[in-house]
Amino acid sequence: MAGISDNLEEFRKLSQIQYKDLIESLEEKYCWKCPMRTNSSEAFCREVDSWIRLTNAFEMGVKDHLNERGVPADCLEVLGAKLLEKKMRTEYISPKFQKLVFIKIEENLSPDVNNGNFIIVKENPKTLKNGDMVLLPRSCPLSVFWFSKISFIEKLPLKIFTIDKVFHKVGVKYIKTNEGLEIPLEYVYGVIIKIIDKNDAIFSELHLEDL
């Protein structure tokens, strides 16, 4: 039986081969009829599409293996949450800075957040409490590429929920929304810390009506 390093190296080489084959297959079967074929070397559309397909295939293989081992389907979201938690912990550079996102709303998302409003969102919150309004993706697959897969389907691939309860389940922190949806905290895109409408003084001070 090969060691971990040998297995990973073999997987890396296989991924390289399969990625190359996917790109060549797209070029041979589809790219010739695509209007972007003239600038595909700049758009990298084949490379991105092949990357997503290969990642999805890998994750489907992981899920198939977990199913063969008898891991319950409802444990997949726990695995996904732990994966995201570890990934974010690894990539988090400095605890001294908190990223805030300023988003313009172009559709009615909830009774409190309407078309024309702006919201200030704190990304990847570590703590939440009852009553917090959070943004969740409209789709929560395990794939780290979920955003790229659905961002072209919805204007804003996020939906607003209000937290009813925060609790732990099988070692993972969960939230429960007013609608009864239970989801790991790591799947939360961000928590809304302020809603700005046209009646707020900051709306005119920042000339948000011009945006």
pLDDT digits (tens, 9 = 90+) for 79-137: 777 776 666 555 554 555 567 888 888 888 788 888 888 888 988 888 899 999 998 87
Q: Is the pTM of this model over 0.75?
A: no
Distance separating alpha carbons of residues 115 and 104, to the nearest angstrom: 8
67 and 123 in a single domain? The answer is: no
Q: Which helix (H) or strand (E) holds 52?
A: helix 45-68
The answer to whether residue 124 sits within a structural domain is: yes
What residues in the chain have per-residue pLDDT under 70? Answer: 1-2, 36-37, 39-40, 42-43, 74, 77, 84-98, 138-157, 211
Q: What is the CATH number of the domain that holds 149?
A: 2.10.109
Please give the pLDDT value at position 149. 40
In which residue are the tokens 């190296």 written? Answer: 9
3-state secondary structure of 118: strand
Please work out, in degrees rounded to the nearest 5, the angle formed at the alpha carbon of residue 165 by the alpha carbons of 163 and 169: 120
The answer to whether residue 192 sits within a structural domain is: yes
Please give the pLDDT value at position 138. 59
Angle between helical axes of 4-29 and 45-68 (0-180°, round to 10)? 130
Please give the pLDDT value at position 165. 93
The count of structural domains within the chain is 2
In which residue are the tokens 């559309």 written? Answer: 45
Tell me the residue range of the domain where 175 lies.
100-210
